Amino acid sequence: DNNVVKIWDAATGKQDKSFDVKYEASFADFTPDGLNIAYVVQQEKQDYLTVRNWKTGKTLLGVILPEKIYDALSISPDGKHIAYSTAFQNNDTSAIVISSKTGKIVFALTGRYAVDFIRFSTDGNYLLIDQYNAAEVWDWKSGKMITSLQGHTLPVLDGIFSPDGRYTVTTSMDNIIRIWETASGKKLMSLINIDFNNWDYIIPDDYIFVDSEGHYDGTEAARNLLYFTCGAEIIELSQAKDQLWV
């Protein structure tokens, strides 16, 4: 049912509230106090971003959006700002931050690839967005990019800051979860999913951990798939001790 916004009781799974919005609704988020929700309604010729008290149904903010495809929405931890992103790129605006009270644009990111996810840091000072095979951290108040997290070989699917903001986690279509130092962009740890039949993004059945120094560990099945090369010879990890150690 694309034309209805529904609120559910997470404990019971029962529907608590619903709103008929007449057109397709997408990308909802709660304010930190849990009293209000923000969502995008995609109409034929005009899109709207709405903030509503879900208990009373009262609309607190309605913002007319340009006619584009909207891919993500996030509310700042203090509830004062809303960030949303579009699937357009190049010279179009791809990420915007507005005041949740007035709807005024306070930050607009242009000239980037399409943005599929957008996240505030816990302190609300930074934004995390995807940029094809990388992710970027922005100080949206100053308009400056803090760092670009590069290392994935396929598009980044999602990302999130740690509670203290020191670290960032990204997932990618390359089957690797990476942990980064936010400020420097240094890659600290990689979790490589080698169970290609399992696309569960929680914890794969077989995986390898690799740290920033190149040290690794993982499940036994995953380690058994590793090998060394010595010229044209391929040496399985289980054979390496007998053939290479002296």
**Closest Cα partner for 165 from 181, 179, 149, 145?**
181
C-beta of residue 234 within 8 angstroms of C-beta of residue 243:
no
Residue 164 buriedness (CB in 10 A; 0-12 / 13-18 / 19+): exposed
Measure the CA–CA gap between 213 and 73, rounded to whole angstroms: 36
The reported pLDDT for the residue numbered 195 is 59
**Dihedral sign from CA coordinates of 196, 201, 205, 210:** positive
Q: What is the 3-state secondary structure (H, E, C) of the chain?
A: CCCEEEEECCCCCCEEEEEECCCEEEEEEECCCCCEEEEEEECCCCEEEEEEECCCCCEEEEEEECCCCEEEEEECCCCCEEEEEECCCCCCEEEEEEECCCCCEEEEEECCCCCCCEEECCCCCEEEEEECCEEEEEECCCCEEEEEEECCCCCEEEEEECCCCCEEEEEECCCEEEEEECCCCCEEEEEEECCCCCCCCCCCCCEEEEECCCCEEECHHHHCCCEEEECCEEEEHHHHHHHHCC
Counting as low any pLDDT under 50, the low residues of the chain are 90, 198-202, 244-246
And the tokens for 68?
């584009």
The reported pLDDT for the residue numbered 244 is 47
pLDDT, one tens digit per residue, over 80-95 is 999 998 766 545 678 8
Total-model pTM: 0.78
And the tokens for 33?
């106090």
The reported pLDDT for the residue numbered 1 is 62
